[in-house]
Structure 1
Amino acid sequence: MRPHKVDSYLDLLEKTPEYASLFSSARQLHEAQSTFLKFIPEQLTQYCRLGRISDGKLTVLVENGAVASKLKQISPSLLLKLQQRGWEVTSFQILVQAHNSAKNPRPFKKQGHSNKKLKLSSTAKTCLAQLAATMPDSELKNTIQLFVNQHQNDSTDPNSSEQ
């Protein structure tokens, strides 16, 4: 279905009595979400979604504990700003919805990470090999040895003087 056909269909549905209240609620939630996002730090906006307001309690769904913590820190000023805008909110309930990040993974490039393979310097390889040699047999020792072995094949070493 083409987008304009979907829009036409939704416009028609909105006019039917059975769906009018649903579309009205969706519109109000969208407007509330837009307003709410104006009052929180920009770096948090993509990780927060509004829930419902019930008995003066605003539910905010967030993707991780760090975002929840930051929102808790700014909640007094945020609450004041929303009340000044006429919202009948007296408290927040912040719920971490970690499964949202699994459904909507953000590519590393968007988060400022690079796919570039990091290279271990020869000094780091030597130190890790020495560390592994002094350790008793364990899973950690095996992991360090495997890691060093995987990086032995790096032909270019930016920190070494060998060329």
Structure 2
Amino acid sequence: MTSYKVNSYLNLLGKTAEYESLFSLAQQLYRDQLTFSKLIPAQLAQYCNIGRISNGRLTIMAENGAVASKLKQISPSLLLKLQKLGWEVTAIQILVQAHFLSINTESSANERDSNNKKIILSQTGKDCLNQLATTLPDSELKNTIQSFLKKHQGY
């Protein structure tokens, strides 16, 4: 239920003038990542992410050198596939972003494996959420944040 509330809030926030372009860019990047993941071998897709396209150059972040090497091998055919889909890409740049994906993957796996562990919210996090809640008008989001803070008072 709470994730529904957060998604509703994010959808509403994405329609505001201040955040519309940011949310639009994030959604486009997500769609592009899904498309990219379908174009490369499945065993590589989980170890790399696309970045932005700037001046016709697509940046791909790979978890390690082996993944980067394989991506470099398939980059000519990948470039052709992307161009056929209408992407305005003329070059591919591959960067190794060591440990980023492995750390995130490991933490996600650990969270799934240990559902009994409680996540502890730092005092700074509590203070920031409390400050946010006080600035919000009466709404479902404000109530949800306040409820969340009440649940995590003792931690």
1:68-105 Cα offsets, whole Å, 9 max, x none, are: 00000000000001001111111111111112123432
Superposed counterparts of 1:66-77, under 5 Å:
66-77=66-77
Are 1:94 and 2:103 counterparts?
Answer: no
Are 1:17 and 2:14 counterparts?
Answer: no
1:6-42 Cα offsets, whole Å, 9 max, x none, are: 0111111011100000110011101111111111001
1:111-142 Cα offsets, whole Å, 9 max, x none, are: xxxxxxxxxxxxxxxxxxxxxxxxxxxxxxxx
Q: Which residue number corresponds to residue 39 of structure 2?
A: 39
Distance 1:5 1:105 in 2: 27
Superposed counterparts of 1:1-163, under 5 Å:
2-100=2-100, 101-105=102-106
Distance 1:8 1:52 in 2: 27
Equivalenced residue count is 107
**Structure 2 unmatched ranges of 5 or more:** 110-155
Give me the identity figure in percent. 66
Q: Residue 46 of structure 2 aligns to a residue in which SS?
A: helix
Distance 1:55 1:84 in 2: 18
Q: Residue 15 of structure 1 aligns to a residue in which SS?
A: coil
Please give the TM-score of this superposition, normalised by the length of structure 1: 0.62
Q: Residue 18 of structure 2 aligns to a residue in which SS?
A: helix
Please give the TM-score of this superposition, normalised by the length of structure 2: 0.66
CA RMSD in angstroms, aligned pairs only: 1.5
Distance 1:104 1:38 in 2: 20
Letter in structure 2 aligned against 1:25: L
Distance 2:95 2:106 in 1: 19
Letter in structure 2 aligned against 1:89: V
Q: Which residue number corresponds to residue 141 of structure 2?
A: none
Greater than 4 Å deviation, 4+ residue runs: none
